[in-house]
Structure 1
Amino acid sequence: MPHYLISFDDGTMIVSPEDLPAVSEASHAVVDEARDAGVWVYGGGLLSQRASIVATDGAVTDGPYPETKAVLGGFSVIDVPTREDALAWAARLAAACRCAQEVREIMHDPAG
């Protein structure tokens, strides 16, 4: 089955400190449902301020980066048969996280 990346950009999940526990509980509930359905591969939130760029020559540049550079705030990888299934899971995550989600199919690696 194809794998899909469901993600959101850093800064798009705007939640008050009071609402954060409810959002966390709702998003973990969707993840638990995905695990129970056998489609969950991996996912998590990202600490963008700790991102590093490694250039082709091995040089490392550490973040944070200017606001013009979009960075991921969090992601999920799921294993489902169709794009429509991936979109349905993304809709559930969007509702739980209270922010839009982006869906992309991960290219199949014939060697893996």
Structure 2
Amino acid sequence: MRYMIINKADADSEAGKLPAPELAEAVGKVVDDLSKAGVLLFAEGVHRSALGARVKVADGRRTVTDGPFTETKELIGGVIVVEVRSRDEAIEWAARLAEALGSEIEVRRVVEEADFGPDSEVF
């Protein structure tokens, strides 16, 4: 099963500041451990919302809103995608990242083709 581990943006990342060396090292250790365990598919940070946009289409009309966006707690700071045996294993890895970052981490299962089968309980 694939899971996306999502860390939230914070005021520093939204200001375009690089993380403190200790923080970068702690997160790097978790990512390195994920890689050594053979479960890491990818890990990426994202640029601050000031460099992004939100796109909405309603009644055939497109609206583009340029960043920055004000609700930092709702913004993604980075994602890690892992392939693990269970939700519990994904949560264990997320807990390690949460400890390294000192923040809340979200864990979401990635939808797979089998999830659309007639016996699926996902949807």
Which has the larger share of helix?
2
Contact 1:49 1:64 in 2 (8 A): yes
Runs of 4+ deviating beyond 3 Å? none
Gaps of 5+ in 1: none
User: Displacement of 1:58 after TM fit?
Assistant: 4.6
User: Displacement of 1:54 after TM fit?
Assistant: 2.4
Answer with 1 or 2: which has the greater Rg: 2
- Structure scoring higher RCO (CA < 8 A, sep ≥ 6) equals 1
Contact 2:10 2:73 in 1 (8 A): no
User: Displacement of 1:26 after TM fit?
Assistant: 1.0
The structure 2 residue matched to 1:88, chosen from 68, 87, 92, is 92
Gaps of 5+ in 2: 115-123
Which secondary structure does the structure 2 equivalent of 1:55 belong to?
strand
Query: Percent of pairs identical after alignment?
Result: 36
Task: Note closer, same or farther for the CA distance 1:13–1:37 as it changes in structure 2 (3 Å cut).
Answer: farther
Q: Which amino acid aligns with 2:36?
A: D
Aligned residues: 106
Task: Note closer, same or farther for the CA distance 1:12–1:36 as it changes in structure 2 (3 Å cut).
Answer: farther
Partner in structure 2 of residue 6 of structure 1:
5
TM-score by length of 1: 0.80
Partner in structure 2 of residue 73 of structure 1:
77
Deviates more, 1:41-50 or 1:51-60: 51-60
